[in-house]
Amino acid sequence: MSDLTSTGSECIPKNSDLQCDPIIRKYGIKPQGLTSYILTLEEQRKNDYPIKGSPGCKGYIYTECDQQRTDSSPLFGLDCEMCLTAKGNEVTRVSLVDAQGQCLLDELVKPESRVMNYLTRFSGVTKKMLLPVKTRLSDIQTRLKEMLPHDAVLVGHSLNADLQALEMIHPSVIDTSLLFARNEGRRFKLKFLAKAVLGKEIQCEQKLGHDPAEDARAALELAQFFIEQGPAKVAELNLEMLLTTEKPAEDSQNKAALQPQGCRVQKQLNEPPHLSKPCFLDCLQVTGQKPVLLGRQGLDSSDLCQSNLSTSNKQILQRALEDVPLSTFSIIQFSLGPEYIASHLLALCEQVRSKLADMLTVYAGPFEEGFCLHSVKKEFGRCGPIQSLAVVTETYKPYVCIQYEVLEAAQLAVESLNGAEVAGSCIKVQRPVTAAMLDCDDLIKELELDVENEGVIYVAGLKKSLTERDLQEEFSQLKDLETLFLPKDLQSGKHRNCCFLKFQESQSAADALEVINGWTVKGRKLRSRNALASGHLWRWIWQMNHSNGKQGGHILYEKMEQLSDSEQDLRKKVKKLDHHIKKLYRSLQNNTLCVVLFPGVNSRHGAQPGLGLMAVKNDGGRSAH
């Protein structure tokens, strides 16, 4: 470690607690400019960075960023996700963010060689995602070379793996896995640093794979924190102690830090492996608070005590009424049986499909005989992608039924075209008049207030020829723009003439709405409104739009007809189960937190989401939700 000691260590008092900290030994105490943290040529060589003129880098693209770096040179965060091919590690997704955290590039890349392993667990990239992709590594190399200014400094975590996979050489880099120095050449994991230093959760287990834009932004912010606060402030965080406290087994599981020179392996292997956190039930056991776990025989009971398994819901209820009041924490597992769960979820699925179909549909008219249908389609298409369009002739004058692919488009059509002149007629635009749609306006308001839609707006009327890069440039002037999402057709890879913009602040989103409405881009006037459909609704809509008219598309309806004979039996079972839950709920003490979970199901019809209810019981059996 002698080569890691630096000038400035002589300024540390001999009795200082920080004197032995590897960060202080490497950088000293005083804050320095960013140029002090750029890897030297020797450090790059030691850590397997691609270097100009190196025998192993033949054919690599040089960024030609040769301008002298200063402490005011621009920082850019870079992160890639890779797959394993016959050639080795090849890039499947690339993200680049600027110093403000703005995502400049986030693109899928098709590998040149045959893919042996998509590494989906790490990358989040699947074979299906790459099927429509036409972008190749050479396209990304050209774009990065064009985007980076001549004095750019790239920031990343184990950035050598990214540059090797990109087959690119860049002279000035800050590697956060080396910046936050540790003893014996070990490295902190990016996920841990983001949480400990920035207070941010990244690489969440609920997500499939890593988000490279999120990782690039985290690495960039870590470097900015280090530069602004200085080594002493970073050392005072006592990261080693935090890691030891959070993960006692870290020392024994974190020895595969640096790979030998020239060895190119997936960068996740250079980082400490994921360490499991103690189970909540284990924590209760340690404190002497043994939980009550009651369930049905034959079910996957995990750690349920075998003595507490019962044969019926009635037995479970009887045991619960006796044991739950004496326990601090209880898990009670009732069951309808797999055959009833499947039928109940199919019925629920059909209800949601029907509701969404009505919400995605608008009727427009009346029109004069012989009206131009193309003009109607063109005008309504400016509100968003159209799933289907049909003329209604059963009325005195013709109407048109338009079904959209997204909720925002249907709502935008109602709001902007009702009372407008289209195809020579002043028309009325409305949704279907059904019992299920009586509360449509209230539901739309609730969706707008959904926390997942906070700071998100929908933009329609985009020209099909516009690329994601064109839109990034066009909307870059909007304040606090964080992310641009451009929905694409899974088969053609083309976008659906609409996009979503997410802003850091709700007020910035509101300001952007005023600016964008009526904004002309490439000769097209844009229309915009607040977003409505969060992630789970997008999945429902996509499933509905892509099941009709395809083989197996009517399985759901056939199944529903087959289940109609057992519908009364199902209702009785559900009513009885509801009675059990109510009885148990009434027996609970006041201020008891109650959570009721109805699990989803995976079947050949698709993955149906579950449902969760939560309340705190208070006096009179009422609850605070």
**Residue labelled with tokens 């000293």:** 28
Answer whether residue 588 shows pLDDT above 70: yes
pLDDT of residue 622: 42
Dump pLDDT digits (tens) for 191-232.
999 999 999 988 876 666 788 999 999 999 999 999 999 999
| 8 A C-beta contact, residue 90 and residue 113 | yes
Segment 570-581 mean pLDDT: 77
pLDDT of residue 246: 64
The letter for the amino acid at 270 is: N
269: which DSSP letter? G
Structure tokens at 567: 């519908």
User: What is the band of 4 on the pLDDT scale with cuts at 50, 70, 90?
Assistant: very low
| CA 45 from centroid of its chain's CA atoms | 35
| 8 A C-beta contact, residue 398 and residue 371 | yes
pLDDT of residue 419: 94
Give the whole-angstrom CA distance, residue 276 versus residue 373.
Answer: 60
Answer whether residue 301 shows pLDDT above 90: no
pLDDT of residue 306: 37
| 8 A C-beta contact, residue 255 and residue 204 | no
Q: What is the mean pLDDT of the chain?
A: 79
Answer whether residue 343 shows pLDDT above 70: no
Q: What is the pTM of this model?
A: 0.42
Dump pLDDT digits (tens) for 15-64.
356 778 899 999 999 999 999 999 999 999 999 999 998 888 999 999 99
Query: Could you give the percent of the chain with pLDDT greater than 70?
Result: 75
Least confident stretch, 62-76, 215-229, 429-443 = 429-443
| 8 A C-beta contact, residue 168 and residue 63 | yes
Answer whether residue 5 shows pLDDT above 80: no
How do 498-503 and 481-485 pair as beta strands? antiparallel
Nearest to 230 by CA among 11, 42, 3: 11
**Range among 187-201, 278-292, 431-445, 584-598 rated most confident:** 187-201
Say how many Å lie between the first and final Cα of the chain, rounded. Answer: 57
Structure tokens at 77: 């965060």
Query: Could you give the percent of the chain with pLDDT greater than 90?
Result: 40
Between 483 and 60, where is the model more confident? 60
| Element (DSSP H or E) covering residue 68 | none
| 8 A C-beta contact, residue 348 and residue 605 | no
**Residue labelled with tokens 């399985």:** 555
